[in-house]
Amino acid sequence: MTKEPKLPNHLFNGSNSQKVALITGVTGQDGTYLAELLLSKGYIVHGIKRRASQLNTGRIDHLYQDPHEENRHFILHHGDMTDSSSLIRIIQQVQPDEIYNLAAQSHVAVSFEEPEYTANSDALGPMRILEAIRILGLEKKTRFYQASTSELYGKVQEIPQKETTPFYPRSPYAVAKLYAYWITVNYREAYGIYACNGILFNHESPLRGETFVTRKITRALTRIAIGSQDCLYLGNMDSRRDWGHARDYVEMQWLMLQQEQPEDFVIATGMQYSVRDFVNAAAAELGMTLKWEGSGVEEVGIVVDAGPHGGARPGQAIVRVDPRYFRPTEVETLLGDASKAHAKLGWKPGTSFEQLVKEMVESDLAATRKYELVKKNGFVAHAYNE
């Protein structure tokens, strides 16, 4: 039997005052920004990645350190939210001061298609971690952050939504996250674990997954602007969201674990836009203007001014509605009131809606141009996400 190389103790326990954090979902949007933040604060950061048939570490490759290097600050472990054995083993080895539970099947529409898996990873997963903290006797050492969500409010009972607004989840994803929210509260009250929920409203970035609506829009419109795609198909154009920047939001995740007492916080910008508004803003960033004709499934976004990129033409229908993207139950409107975080955490959103859209469009435009260049020269594979 081959023995695993023994890593120096300081990698797991932290030396002197160096804090040790464990991030689940480290390969995701928030995991990446949070890992960068904690490393910049001098933490030793451990991340859990799940096994995939292809590498799934594209977002965090710039943080990677060779396992044979001495004094590593960023260490990855294979594990899965559906597998207690891996979670307990990793937490036992790492002995973290802080656990950020960001891992989840995070796509609302997909949760209608995979409700059981979504419950397993998003509801039971956090419980498995809290149980591991208890089983390992880490109740007084390890602080726990749960990635809760504005989807808990679902069919909205109050506008804007704050910590005291009643929940009414509208998808298997939101129902699973409701369990996670309450199990976090319960373990805090039952066992005195420093555990808290960040009820975060939508937050986006150039690292956002390509199937969430904002990234889907910025990616498609940049391709349309330079002529490598004809049309973008969307679902509910009237849906309204409170969109912030992921980079700003992970700072609040960290701050929530630095307080004297664990508490739950809403993080939101307090500003709301529709999906259509987002399309218009992204088009404007590309120098295009659109007019909207028809309504419901017949609605079409038509180019008025095609802008400077040369791929689109006036009169071209570049946005259409495809009912396949409608959800069996929709969350029509979300708007957060983050007054508590403002008062206690000093929260104020650092990035405006316009800046967010600009950053996402610029990033996708650069990626699209690179892809087209590489394609023109006959090398397509892997080019898009480089």
* Positions in the binding site for ligand GDR (CB under 6 A): 106, 108-109, 149-151, 201-202, 211-213, 216, 234-236, 239, 241, 275, 325, 327, 330-331
Part in contact with ligand NDP (CB under 6 A); list of ranges 103-111, 256-264, 313-321, 363-371? 103-111
Nearer to ligand GDR, 66 or 298 (CB): 298
- Which is nearer to ligand GDR, 109 or 284 (by Cβ)? 109
Which position among 22, 129, 130, 147 is part of the footprint of ligand NDP (CB under 6 A)? 147
Decide whether 103 or 224 has the Cβ nearer to ligand NDP. 103
Nearer to ligand NDP, 147 or 318 (CB): 147
Q: Toward ligand NDP, which CB reaches closer, 211 or 295?
A: 211
Which listed residue (31, 96, 160, 336) binds ligand NDP by CB under 6 A? Answer: 31
Based on the residue annotation, tell me whether 151 is a catalytic residue of this protein: yes
User: Would you count residue 55 as binding ligand NDP (CB under 6 A)?
Assistant: no
Would you say 327 or 370 has its CB closer to ligand GDR?
327
- In our burial notation (b when 16+ CB lie closer than 10 A, e otherwise), range 212-230 reads bbbbbbbbbbbbbbbeebe
Give yes or no: 218 in active site: no
Rounded least distance, CB 225 to ligand NDP, Å: 25
Q: Which of residues 286-345 bind ligand NDP (CB under 6 A)?
A: none
Q: 188 to 247, contacts with ligand NDP by CB under 6 A?
A: 200, 202-203, 209
Which of 142/272 has CB closer to ligand GDR?
272
From 27, 149, 184, 333, the catalytic residue: 149
CB of 82 to ligand NDP, least distance (A): 5
* Catalytic site includes residue 165: no
Taking the complex as a whole, how short is the minimal distance between the CB of residue 244 and ligand NDP, in angstroms? 8
Q: How far is the CB of 313 from ligand NDP (least distance, A)?
A: 34
103 binds ligand NDP, rule: CB under 6 A: yes
Q: Which of 91, 162, 139 is nearest to 262 (CA)?
A: 139
Site membership for ligand NDP, residue 80 (CB under 6 A): yes
Q: Shortest Cβ distance from residue 129 to ligand NDP (Å)? A: 11
**Axis-axis angle for helices 275-285, 213-225 (nearest 10):** 30
Among 21, 29, 38, 153, binds ligand NDP (CB under 6 A): 29
What is the distance between the alpha carbons of residues 181 and 1, in angstroms, rounded to a whole number? 42
Three-class DSSP labels, the chain: CCCCCCCCCHHHHCCCCCCEEEEECCCCHHHHHHHHHHHHCCCEEEEEECCCCCCCCHHHHHHCCCCCCCCCCEEEEECCCCCHHHHHHHHHHHCCCEEEECCCCCCHHHHHHCHHHHHHHHHHHHHHHHHHHHHCCCCCCCEEEEEEEHHHCCCCCCCCECCCCCCCCCCHHHHHHHHHHHHHHHHHHHHCCCEEEEEECCEECCCCCCCCHHHHHHHHHHHHHCCCCCCEEECCCCCEECCEEHHHHHHHHHHHCCCCCCCCEEECCCCCEEHHHHHHHHHHHCCCEEEEECCHHHCEEEEEECCCCCCCCCCCEEEEECHHHCCCCCCCECCECCHHHHHHHCCCCCCCHHHHHHHHHHHHHHHHHHHHHHHHCCCCCCCCCC
Among ligand NDP, ligand GDR, none, what does residue 28 contact (CB within 5–8 Å per kind)? ligand NDP
Q: Which residues bind ligand NDP (CB under 6 A)?
A: 24-25, 27-31, 50, 52, 56, 80-82, 102-106, 121, 147, 149, 200, 202-203, 209
Residues with active-site annotation: 149, 151, 173
